[in-house]
């Protein structure tokens, strides 16, 4: 090793040239790295949506949901299948046991879906299979208002014609949707009496309009040396021509025109969807990005193109950005970068005070940016992106980058004091520490290997962080044994001038260090006098730390302070849009008056067209997205919890759901404050009855704020029971009568007319005076030969309350009871629900259990297994390194002490036990070994001098005191910006930073107190 160091130091120019080259590569790679919120994660979930236009809920469940659930549920690796059926739509969600071989599993699902397609009704649409993606929502929302546009009603059509075609062609944009505004249509209001007089049905009129209103190619004819196309023209080019469309002929051969029984006009249809920005009506463009696209780059391209269109449009519209995911990404990434820089600066100050010269801290400050930039270059090579996980890993590990070089520099300086020769000091220092820094790095890296065995998405989520930390630590290891001695050898020794500010600062720092050393020696001597009793008290303190776990809140993933949240409102089926709008605006005003909200975006109502020629399906719901002012962004979680309480107290009858907007992680795991109980059986009425019973009794559970069951949402409807024999006698079927009634009440789209270069759809509907109420439906006539027959003669009408949704799990029907808990009462409610289940009696045919997605214990069990596996790996490593199980026992016994001792600090900082803190505990296991291994190596050196174990322990502790103190303090202060969440984007790593930061302090105390105690006891047992 000395020869290698001598070669390295003999050619410093070569070493510097190599590192400068890699730093340049790192700078180039930094600008080329993709920026994202999270790494690419394969979520083990897929969704199948199938539309069955105008089908009832029972038909959708029996003919669509059940066959798909049963067939797909038998696929390999499927963990659960959930189905939701509603009128006209089936949605089946398939969850896999893990995210391995996802492409193969999805491919198998597609094959089985093609097979089951043959079993589905012919008039159902093709099932659409899509992988679950929490990023599938719009990543950019642009809000538009009319400015110089003459008529605000034209805003939506203006954007469709002038803005949408340009913006949706931008690279990275998958699709663009428009919300709000007015839709132009050609409204054909049919006079019911005239229609019957002509012996026509709405269906036959629609078919005639479609067949007549089109141009048909008719081949070609020769004309000289060319072929001239021939076509039959039928498409109308104006309202007048459309009115002259021949629908049928009368008994005397006279044509019956469309305009004879229908009033045709261009109309802006009554809207069931509306968009508001800060209470002002607007039109919103929703941008969806392609999978894997960089949201920052795509957003910049969109906004740049939008500004170009705006300049060329003579300010006919005004626009502003309502929501832009890129802003949060940039703020988070920049915040983590700044946290990294602040942490490095604090670590530099600590090293300056402990080393009390300028040479060594300058060396450390040169190697940290070099290590980070070279790590960026390796990120680029391995295909990593700059996201919260990779940058968070660097920010958490910034103090650790100092560690190896700290140990090397301390050894070099100690040898320099005795030899006064830089070259010999460098060679001796590296020879002494090379094994310990390699083992220290390997032990930290090895603890991440068990994370490969994580089967849930947690493994995918944290694998990039683990890889980022591993890359940076490997780079710092290589730098510590190559670049660090070269820089120390080249940079002249620099000390503070006497009586200068730095000299006085260094003197003060030295006095504190001397006091600490004296305190350490005094305390260690006292502990060594009664080692067994001291160790016993330490174990008692650690036991008390372990008990604190009970009092710390628990969650799967920490919440992100995105500065945004959304409230989703759902109203009873059939609620008119005006009522939905009124309630939504009232809630929006209440929130904005009470909380520091800068902007709000509301989408009131939601509609979709069923089928190519179907009517509109209206969903009475709304969503309000609130954007918190930048000064109050860190209070997002507090505001959200407060609003949840307000909704329960001020709006108890409002079906509302508050979620973090933009927090992808929360959307993955759902809300921890909701505990869902699953009831499975065959009879829906029985499931509903049990749901009501549990809803009534469960309210007595302490901590429960509200209870609801899924089957409690009903839909009022009129059921027409037809005499099918009469229908067949008159030449009608249930489908044909149903279609005629649908057109009469909702309207139906048929064909379209091209006006001014744009096709405008034609909607057929009966006049309002013809269909006013239930009596109008009863009197609705269908033509039969020379006369008409009313609906009341063919059917009986009953009023019913049907289920709005039907649910299924696997092949069984289901009901879900949701327990909403008070803040901080989740664990108490969970225990209460479990006790409640055990105390209740249920029919044999009913099975029940907690929904697994809400089970915190599943993730914790998996992470606990990872910790145990990492412990075993470290045990084998230490045993093999020192060829002694007894030594490994003494070193490894301190790991649980350090790990458990760090947990109470989560409570002090108001953090939870979650997946992030568990990963911090895994990291801490590797870090805590480093100091213990360093102690034992010097213990062996002292033992070679034929001294007793207590003396060797004391001397070893004194030798390692300064390097271990420096490593621990630089790591601790480097983590302070993350611990206190000084910058946005570090909320996810905060609990991890608390665990690691205070864990390294405990590992310091372990190395200088507990390890000497344990090894001093070896002599008594020898």
**CA distance linking residue 561 with residue 981, whole number of Å:** 10
User: What is d(CA 486, CA 277) in angstroms, rounded to the nearest whole number?
Assistant: 61
| 314-351: pLDDT as tens digits | 778 888 888 888 887 787 777 777 877 887 788 888 88
What span, in angstroms and rounded, lies between the C-alpha atoms of 193 and 205?
Answer: 14
Quote the CA–CA distance of 138 and 805 in Å, as a whole number: 26
Report yes or no: 546 and 913 within 8 Å, Cβ to Cβ: no
**530 three-state secondary structure:** coil
Give the position of tokens 């538009």.
144
Distance CA 495, CA 358 (A): 6
Residue 82: phi, psi to the nearest 5? -115, 135
Q: What is the pLDDT of residues 739-780, one digit of tens each?
A: 788 888 777 777 777 776 677 888 888 887 667 777 888 887
Query: Which residues are paired to 229 by β-bridges?
Result: 220
Q: Which residue has the higher pLDDT, 723 or 132?
A: 723
- What average pLDDT score do residues 121-133 get? 83
State the pLDDT confidence band at 611, using cuts at 50, 70 and 90.
very low
Phi, psi angles (nearest 5°) of residue 669: -95, -10
C-alpha–C-alpha distance, residues 612 and 776, integer Å: 27
Q: Which CATH number fits domain 1-32+356-494: 1.20.1640.10, 1.10.645.10, 1.10.579.10, 3.30.450.70?
A: 1.20.1640.10
pLDDT in tens, 870-884: 888 888 888 887 888
pLDDT digits (tens, 9 = 90+) for 61-115: 989 999 999 888 888 888 889 999 988 889 999 988 777 777 888 888 988 888 8
Name which residue leads in pLDDT, 330 or 1002.
1002
Report the percentage of the chain scoring pLDDT > 90: 5
What pLDDT does 672 receive?
Answer: 55
The segment(s) of the chain belonging to CATH 1.20.1640.10 are 1-32+356-494, 852-1021
> Can you spell out the DSSP letters for 357-396?
SSHHHHHHHHHHHHHHHHHHHHHHHHT--BSHHHHHHHHH
Q: What is the mean pLDDT of residues 842-847?
A: 82
What pLDDT does residue 615 have? Answer: 46
- Region 998-1017 average pLDDT: 86
Tell me the mean pLDDT in the region 671-676: 69
Quick one: pLDDT at residue 271? 65
Confidence band, pLDDT 50/70/90 cuts, at residue 613? very low
Beta-carbon contacts of 209 under 8 Å, excluding residues fewer than 6 positions away, are 245, 247, 258, 750, 751, 762, 764
| pLDDT at 24 > cutoff 90 | yes
- Angle between helices 987-1005 and 388-396 in degrees, nearest 10: 20
CATH fold of 45-131? Alpha-Beta Plaits (3.30.70)
Residue among 957, 929, 919, 1010 nearest 535 (CA): 1010
Read off the pLDDT of residues 28-41 as tens digits, 9 standing for 90 and up.
Answer: 998 888 877 777 77
Nearest 10 degrees: CA dihedral of 361, 364, 366, 369?
-130
Dist CA 83 CA 104 (whole Å): 22
Question: Is 3.30.70.1430 the CATH classification of the domain at 562-661?
Answer: yes
Q: What is the mean pLDDT of residues 257-277?
A: 83
pTM of the shown model: 0.76
Detail the DSSP E strand segments found in 911-969.
none
Looking at the DSSP bridge assignments, the partners of residue 128 are 49
pLDDT tens digit sequence for 912-923:
888 788 888 888
The larger pLDDT score, comparing residue 224 to residue 521, is at 521
Task: Identify the CATH homologous superfamily for domain 852-1021.
Answer: Multidrug efflux transporter AcrB transmembrane domain (1.20.1640.10)
Between residues 529 and 582, which one has the greater pLDDT? 582
Question: Residue 167, Cβ neighbours under 10 Å: how many?
Answer: 20
Q: Could you tell me the pLDDT band of residue 253, with boundaries at 50, 70 and 90?
A: confident
Q: What is residue 856's predicted lDDT score, i.e. its pLDDT?
A: 56
Structure confidence by residue, pLDDT tens digits, 42-55: 778 889 999 887 77
- Residue corresponding to tokens 């493994």: 459
Element (H, E) at 228: strand 226-232
Predicted confidence at residue 612, as pLDDT, reads: 43
> Which residues in the chain are classed under CATH 3.30.70.1430?
45-131, 562-661
Residue 454: both structure tokens together: 């994580």
- For residue 220, the model assigns a pLDDT of 82
| Confidence grade of residue 166 (pLDDT, cut at 50, 70, 90) | very high
- The answer to whether the beta carbons of residues 422 and 1022 sit under 8 Å apart is no
Q: What share of the chain is helix, strand, coil (3-state, %, to 5)?
A: 55, 20, 25
């Amino acid at each position: 090793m000395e020869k290698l160091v001598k070669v390295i130091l003999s050619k410093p120019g070569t070493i510097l040239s190599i590192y400068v080259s890699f730093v340049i590569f790192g700078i180039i790679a930094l600008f080329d790295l993709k920026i994202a919120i999270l790494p690419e994660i394969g979520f083990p979930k897929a969704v199948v949506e199938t539309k069955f236009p105008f089908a009832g809920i029972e038909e959708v469940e029996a003919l669509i949901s059940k066959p798909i659930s049963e067939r797909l549920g038998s696929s390999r690796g499927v963990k659960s299948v959930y189905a939701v059926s509603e009128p006209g739509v089936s949605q089946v969600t398939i969850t896999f046991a893990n995210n391995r071989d996802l492409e193969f599993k999805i491919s198998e699902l597609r094959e089985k879906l093609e097979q089951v397609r043959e079993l589905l009704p012919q008039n159902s649409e093709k099932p659409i299979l899509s992988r679950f993606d929490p990023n599938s929502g719009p990543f950019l929302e642009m809000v538009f208002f009319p400015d110089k546009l003459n008529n605000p009603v034209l805003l939506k059509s203006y954007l469709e014609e002038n803005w949408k075609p340009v913006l949706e062609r931008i690279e990275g944009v998958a699709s663009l949707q428009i919300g709000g505004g007015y839709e132009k249509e050609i409204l054909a209001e049919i006079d019911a009496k005239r229609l019957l007089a002509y012996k026509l049905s709405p269906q036959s009129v629609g078919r005639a309009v479609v067949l007549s209103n089109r141009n048909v190619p008719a081949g070609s004819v020769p004309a000289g040396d060319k072929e001239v196309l021939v076509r039959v023209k039928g498409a109308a080019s104006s309202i007048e021509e459309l009115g002259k469309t021949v629908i049928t002929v009368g008994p005397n051969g006279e044509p019956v025109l469309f305009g004879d029984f229908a009033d045709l006009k261009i109309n802006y249809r009554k809207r069931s969807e509306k968009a508001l920005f800060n209470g002002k009506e607007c039109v919103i463009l929703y941008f969806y990005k392609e999978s894997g696209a960089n949201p920052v780059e795509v957003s910049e391209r969109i906004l740049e193109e939008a500004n170009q269109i705006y300049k060329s449009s003579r300010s006919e519209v005004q626009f502003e950005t309502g929501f832009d995911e890129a802003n949060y990404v940039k703020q988070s990434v920049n915040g983590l970068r700044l946290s990294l820089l602040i942490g490095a600066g604090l670590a530099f100050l600590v090293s300056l005070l402990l080393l009390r010269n300028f040479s060594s801290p300058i060396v450390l400050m040169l190697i940290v940016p070099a290590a980070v930039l070279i790590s960026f270059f390796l990120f680029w090579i391995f295909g990593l992106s700059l996201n919260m996980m990779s940058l968070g890993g660097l920010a958490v590990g910034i103090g650790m980058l100092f560690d190896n070089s700290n140990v090397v520099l301390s050894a070099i300086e100690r040898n320099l004091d005795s030899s006064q020769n830089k070259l010999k000091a460098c060679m001796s220092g590296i020879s002494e520490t090379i094994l310990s820094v390699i083992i220290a790095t390997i032990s930290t890296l090895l603890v991440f290997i068990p994370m490969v065995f994580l089967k849930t998405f947690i493994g995918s989520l944290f694998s990039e962080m683990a890889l980022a930390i591993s890359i940076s630590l490997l780079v710092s290891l290589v730098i510590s044994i190559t670049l660090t001695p070269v820089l120390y050898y080249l940079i002249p020794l620099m000390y503070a001038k006497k009586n200068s500010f730095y000299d006085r600062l260094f003197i003060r720092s030295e006095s504190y260090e001397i006091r600490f050393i004296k305190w350490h020696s005094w305390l260690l001597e006292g502990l060594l006098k009664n080692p067994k009793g001291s160790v016993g008290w330490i174990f008692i303190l650690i036991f008390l730390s372990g008990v604190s776990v009970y009092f710390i809140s628990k969650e799967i993933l920490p919440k992100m302070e995105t500065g945004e949240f959304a409230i989703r409102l759902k109203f009873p089926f059939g609620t008119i849009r005006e009522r939905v709008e009124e309630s939504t605006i009232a809630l929006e005003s209440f929130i904005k008056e009470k909380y520091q909200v800068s902007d709000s975006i509301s989408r009131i109502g939601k509609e979709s067209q069923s089928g190519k020629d179907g009517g509109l399906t209206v969903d009475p719901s709304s969503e309000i997205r609130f954007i918190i002012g930048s000064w109050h962004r860190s209070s997002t979680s507090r505001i959200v919890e407060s609003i949840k309480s307000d909704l329960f107290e001020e709006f108890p009858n409002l079906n509302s759901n508050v979620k973090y907007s933009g927090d992808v992680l929360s959307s993955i795991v759902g809300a921890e404050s909701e505990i869902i109980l699953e009831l499975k059986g065959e009879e829906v009425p029985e499931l509903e009855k049990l749901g009501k019973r549990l809803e009534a009794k469960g309210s007595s559970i302490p901590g429960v704020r509200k209870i609801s069951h899924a089957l409690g949402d009903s839909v009022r409807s009129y059921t027409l029971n037809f005499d099918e024999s009469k229908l067949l006698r008159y030449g009608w079927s249930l489908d044909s009568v149903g279609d005629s009634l649908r057109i009469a009440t909702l309207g139906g789209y048929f064909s379209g007319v091209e006006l001014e270069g744009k096709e405008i759809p034609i909607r057929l509907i009966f006049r309002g005076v013809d269909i006013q109420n239930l009596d109008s439906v009863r009197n609705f006539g269908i033509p039969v030969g020379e006369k008409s027959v009313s609906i009341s003669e063919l059917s009986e009408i009953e009023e019913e309350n049907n289920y709005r949704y039907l649910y299924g799990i696997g092949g069984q029907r289901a009901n879900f009871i949701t327990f909403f808990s008070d803040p901080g009462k989740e664990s108490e409610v969970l225990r209460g629900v479990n006790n409640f289940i055990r105390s209740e009696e249920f029919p044999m045919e009913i099975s029940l259990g907690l929904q697994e997605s809400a089970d915190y214990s599943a993730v914790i069990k998996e992470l606990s297994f990872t910790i145990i596996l990492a412990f075993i790996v470290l045990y084998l490593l230490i045993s093999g390194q020192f060829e002694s199980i007894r030594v490994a026992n003494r070193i490894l016994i301190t790991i649980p002490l350090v790990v458990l001792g760090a947990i109470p600090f989560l409570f002090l900082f108001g953090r939870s036990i979650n997946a992030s803190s568990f990963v911090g505990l895994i990291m801490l296991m590797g870090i805590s070994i480093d100091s213990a291994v360093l102690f034992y190596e010097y213990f062996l050196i002292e033992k070679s001098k034929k001294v007793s174990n207590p003396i060797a322990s004391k001397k070893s502790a004194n030798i390692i005191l300064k390097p271990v103190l420096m490593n621990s303090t630089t790591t601790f202060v480097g983590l302070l910006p993350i611990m206190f969440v000084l910058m946005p984007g570090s909320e996810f790593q905060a609990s991890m930073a608390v665990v690691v930061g205070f864990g390294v302090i405990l590992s310091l105390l372990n190395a200088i107190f507990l390890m000497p105690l344990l090894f001093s006891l070896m002599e008594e047992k020898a």
